[in-house]
Chain A
Amino acid sequence: MTERTSPTNAADRKRHSSAGTTSTVSTRNGAASVTDDRQRDRGTRSTTDGTDPTDTAATAQTATETEPEREHPLAIETTGLVKHFGETKAVDGIDLAIPAGGIYGLLGPNGAGKTTVIRMLATLLQPDAGTARVFGHDVATDGDAVRRRVSMTGQFASVDEDLTGRENLVLLARLLGYSRAQAAERTRELIDAFGLTEAATRQVKTYSGGMRRRLDIVASIVVTPELLFLDEPTTGLDPRNRNQVWDIIRALVANGTTVLLTTQYLDEADQLADRIAVIDEGRIIAEGTPGELKASVGSGVLSVRLRDPECRDAARDVLTSVLDAPVELESDPAALSARIEDPDRVTQALDALAESRIEVTEFTLGQPSLDEFFLEVTDRPTRGGADRDATTDDGMRQEGVE
């Protein structure tokens, strides 16, 4: 059910997208092989779209094109994208090269510029400088062609709260060109599939947060888009609703939709995204697979809570010697934590504590937090994380070792 690119593909893509970004890898290696099947399918789809003669012509032309990079335009390609709001540089020179298929994550704190990037790509904002292309179409000059391929679920409710769920979907279906009967049929199908039956006849303003979010996303896929923008799709959702949203996203990707997702949660980017660009203050500060990025900050953090706070200094000495890593004292007087490179040493460390008769009431082995990650990445101007080889992919599957 889950769509993950194999390490080989990830490496391929990485090299390709790095060519346009701040990363130091310079070989430009066409990502065409990764997306062959999907692209061919897209081509067929646009030829069946009878309303768009230019599109058909373009497909016919690219089919005879020999250069592979022309044949498969990237889902998203931006160069030097800039957007200012007054004095604030919301987006300050962003280069992206995102191949079709899969999930690409934009990870960053509030105000990093993620939403602004998405809004420019969805033709809602004009870039101040630089270019942005969606499937080869410039967002500034060819907005209509872009809008035919994308769909956006914004951070805030992007449905009409006064209308019912069903009315919202029928409205969108009609706007997309379905006849009255087709719109009703498609709406029924979506409502059934996404568990909105009970809520379909209620005004959206009465919906719970999770239900509203689901409707928001469903509203974006009345016609399955080629590229879906999801701006913080799970912010504020409980774990159950979050998982449902993730399932929807994975189903879409399995079906060939490319997803550009913004999130503040490393965990979410980790679970979903094939590649991640970390954005801070309008710039990309790191780019790579989740594994690569996390490998750059060590494979995890061991947190230990002692029965007796008096033992903390002794515990620190033990952990320092076994883990061979700096050990931090937490604000909780009985707790301490250490960043670990090698998870195997965790058991040794716990054994060592037991041997020293230091009683441990609680320990967790967790992912580096986004905070730690940012600290690490912003402290390291060489962006070491993004340049490591993709083989460290397993760095990300150590949750739940406790």
Chain B
Amino acid sequence: MTAERSPTAAETELNSDPARQPDPDVDTLHAAVSDSPRPPRPSAVSASLTFGWRALLKIKHVPEQLFDVTVFPIMFLLLFTYLFGGALAGSTSAYLQELLPGILAMTVVFITIYTGVTLNDDIDEGVFDRFRTMPVWQPSVIVGALLGDAVRYTIASTMVIGLGLLLGFRPEGGAIGVISAVALLLVFSFSLSWIWTALGFIMRTPESLMGVSMLILFPLTFISNVFVDPRTMPGWLEAFVSINPVSHLVTAMRGLMHGTATAGDVIIVLGLSAVFVVVFGPATMYLFHAQQ
């Protein structure tokens, strides 16, 4: 390209300027920046998978981020099983059968917060700006992050179920029941994460985002059917539990794991998931574009 343009008077003058020593690397520089045709734009799926790969690389470089994913579920499971199991269900092993699907749901639902926190960090660091100025399908940066998170959810699920089996969890639905329960959980978590991505754009710091998310998630996970039978609760509380999406998720997961699930249980969860995506997906993308 340069060859097409004869040097102007000013250029010649500057090149002969003794104060400007040509850098020895200049030729290599020129070669590296020389035109190569722009490759075709990647598909939405390909771009999302690439961002998912980025999330995995981050896990590889910062394995500490898996600490919450692994240690908390183990702690919760042991704590609740042995502390309350005997009192609540007569025996720890009887309680474990009911508790495990609930703890699993609670654990993974809590981990979804990190989606928003990671996004918030990205925005702070400026790397997000680069992604936003690239000609890729714009939501892929978020979808990719969520796909990466799915890996984290799977790791957490494996930990909880593995430990549960050691402690005496015996799912009557068999392997298929357990796997479909986990799959349902992943769908629900992926959908729920859009709430945090939307909040990730609104909140200024990861800390405040964490605070708000906890404020939402504590009632959502504790005031549910995870730990106890809602029928023992006062009516107003039971009413909340019965409309709590987490309760529906836990009901469906218990059913799948023990082979008693109805299609209705599963459909409600899928419906709720769809609502999350339909409401908070566009909200996220709106905030993404409106971001200052």
Q: When the two chains form their complex, are residues A193 and B11 in contact, meaning their CB atoms are under 8 A apart?
A: no
Of A161-169, A357-365, A378-386, the stretch lying at the interface with chain B is: A161-169
Interface status of A129 (Cβ within 8 A of chain B)? no
How long is the Cα–Cα vector from A177 to B44 in the complex, in angstroms?
11
How long is the Cα–Cα vector from A17 to B76 in the complex, in angstroms?
67
Nearest chain A residue, comparing its CB with the CB of B49? A174
When the two chains form the complex, which single residue of A5, A147, A158, A221 contacts B135, counting CB atoms closer than 8 Å?
A147
Which residues on the A side are within 8 Å of B234 (C-beta)?
Answer: none
Of A251-259, A304-312, A325-333, the stretch lying at the interface with chain B is: A251-259
Interface status of A260 (Cβ within 8 A of chain B)? no
When the two chains form the complex, which single residue of B30, B42, B51, B132 contacts A251, counting CB atoms closer than 8 Å?
B30
The secondary-structure label for the interface of chain B is: helix
**Known contacts A2-B15, A7-B10; is A190 also within 8 Å of B32 by CB?**
yes
Which residues on the B side are within 8 Å of A192 (C-beta)?
Answer: 28, 32
When the two chains form the complex, which single residue of B2, B23, B35, B131 contacts A175, counting CB atoms closer than 8 Å?
B131
Query: Which chain A residues have a beta carbon within 8 Å of chain B's beta carbons?
Result: 1-7, 9, 37-38, 41, 45, 48-52, 85, 119, 122-126, 144, 147-148, 150-152, 154-164, 167, 171-172, 174-179, 182, 186, 189-190, 192-195, 203, 219-221, 223-224, 243-244, 247-248, 251-252, 254-257, 400
Besides A6-B10, A203-B61, A251-B30, 13 other CB < 8 A contacts?
A51-B41, A119-B129, A126-B289, A147-B135, A152-B130, A156-B126, A157-B127, A161-B127, A174-B53, A177-B39, A177-B40, A193-B25, A193-B31
Q: When the two chains form their complex, are residues B9 and A163 in contact, meaning their CB atoms are under 8 A apart?
A: no
Q: When the two chains form their complex, are residues B19 and A255 in contact, meaning their CB atoms are under 8 A apart?
A: no
Which residues on the B side are within 8 Å of A3 (C-beta)?
Answer: 11
Nearest chain A residue, comparing its CB with the CB of B6? A37
Nearest chain A residue, comparing its CB with the CB of B144? A175
Nearest chain B residue, comparing its CB with the CB of A148? B135
Interface status of B34 (Cβ within 8 A of chain A)? yes
Which residues on the A side are within 8 Å of B36 (C-beta)?
Answer: 186, 223-224
How long is the Cα–Cα vector from A219 to B9 in the complex, in angstroms?
33
Which residues on the B side are within 8 Å of A51 (C-beta)?
Answer: 38, 40-41
How long is the Cα–Cα vector from A276 to B10 in the complex, in angstroms?
17
Q: When the two chains form their complex, are residues A4 and B25 in contact, meaning their CB atoms are under 8 A apart?
A: no
Q: When the two chains form their complex, are residues A1 and B35 in contact, meaning their CB atoms are under 8 A apart?
A: no
3 nearest CB pairs, A to B: A193-B32, A177-B39, A6-B8
Which residues on the A side are within 8 Å of B127 (C-beta)?
Answer: 157-161
Q: When the two chains form their complex, are residues A224 and B14 in contact, meaning their CB atoms are under 8 A apart?
A: no
**Known contacts A1-B26, A4-B10, A37-B4; is A189 also within 8 Å of B126 by CB?**
no
Q: When the two chains form their complex, are residues B37 and A49 in contact, meaning their CB atoms are under 8 A apart?
A: yes
Interface status of B50 (Cβ within 8 A of chain A)? yes
How long is the Cα–Cα vector from A380 to B28 in the complex, in angstroms?
46
How long is the Cα–Cα vector from A161 to B15 in the complex, in angstroms?
38
Q: When the two chains form their complex, are residues B130 and A193 in contact, meaning their CB atoms are under 8 A apart?
A: no
When the two chains form the complex, which single residue of B4, B38, B58 contacts A177, counting CB atoms closer than 8 Å?
B38
How long is the Cα–Cα vector from A106 to B86 in the complex, in angstroms?
72
When the two chains form the complex, which single residue of B40, B46, B57 contacts A167, counting CB atoms closer than 8 Å?
B57
Among B35, B36, B135, B289, the most chain A Cβ lie within 10 Å of the Cβ of: B135
When the two chains form the complex, which single residue of A172, A175, A400 contacts B19, counting CB atoms closer than 8 Å?
A400
Q: When the two chains form their complex, are residues B22 and A37 in contact, meaning their CB atoms are under 8 A apart?
A: no
How long is the Cα–Cα vector from A45 to B38 in the complex, in angstroms?
8
Which residues on the B side are within 8 Å of A176 (C-beta)?
Answer: 38-39, 42, 134-136
Q: When the two chains form their complex, are residues B23 and A255 in contact, meaning their CB atoms are under 8 A apart?
A: no
Which residues on the B side are within 8 Å of A152 (C-beta)?
Answer: 129-130, 133
Q: In angstroms, how far is the closest chain A Cβ from the Cβ of B27?
A: 9
**Known contacts A9-B8, A158-B130, A247-B25; is A255 also within 8 Å of B37 by CB?**
no
Q: When the two chains form their complex, are residues B26 and A251 in contact, meaning their CB atoms are under 8 A apart?
A: yes
How long is the Cα–Cα vector from A253 to B65 in the complex, in angstroms?
42
How long is the Cα–Cα vector from A157 to B129 in the complex, in angstroms?
10
Q: When the two chains form their complex, are residues B132 and A223 in contact, meaning their CB atoms are under 8 A apart?
A: no
Among B5, B14, B26, B130, the most chain A Cβ lie within 10 Å of the Cβ of: B130
How long is the Cα–Cα vector from A52 to B41 in the complex, in angstroms?
9
**Known contacts A41-B1, A163-B58, A400-B19; is A2 also within 8 Å of B14 by CB?**
yes
Kindly identify, within residues 57 to 114 of chain B, every residue whose CB is under 8 Å from any CB belonging to chain A: 57-58, 61-62
Among B34, B127, B133, B136, the most chain A Cβ lie within 10 Å of the Cβ of: B133
Which residues on the A side are within 8 Å of B47 (C-beta)?
Answer: 175
Interface status of B33 (Cβ within 8 A of chain A)? yes
When the two chains form the complex, which single residue of A50, A124, A221, A247 contacts B26, counting CB atoms closer than 8 Å?
A247
**Known contacts A158-B129, A163-B58, A256-B35; is A4 also within 8 Å of B29 by CB?**
no
Q: When the two chains form their complex, are residues A223 and B32 in contact, meaning their CB atoms are under 8 A apart?
A: no
When the two chains form the complex, which single residue of B15, B22, B135 contacts A144, counting CB atoms closer than 8 Å?
B135
Q: When the two chains form their complex, are residues A122 and B133 in contact, meaning their CB atoms are under 8 A apart?
A: yes
Q: In angstroms, how far is the closest chain B Cβ from the Cβ of A90?
A: 10
Q: When the two chains form their complex, are residues B35 and A162 in contact, meaning their CB atoms are under 8 A apart?
A: no
Q: When the two chains form their complex, are residues A125 and B4 in contact, meaning their CB atoms are under 8 A apart?
A: no
How long is the Cα–Cα vector from A48 to B47 in the complex, in angstroms?
22
When the two chains form the complex, which single residue of A6, A177, A186 contacts B41, counting CB atoms closer than 8 Å?
A177
**Known contacts A3-B11, A41-B1, A224-B33; is A175 also within 8 Å of B28 by CB?**
no
How long is the Cα–Cα vector from A243 to B19 in the complex, in angstroms?
13
Which residues on the A side are within 8 Å of B10 (C-beta)?
Answer: 4-7
Q: When the two chains form their complex, are residues B39 and A223 in contact, meaning their CB atoms are under 8 A apart?
A: yes
Q: In angstroms, how far is the closest chain B Cβ from the Cβ of A71?
A: 18
Q: When the two chains form their complex, are residues A189 and B32 in contact, meaning their CB atoms are under 8 A apart?
A: yes
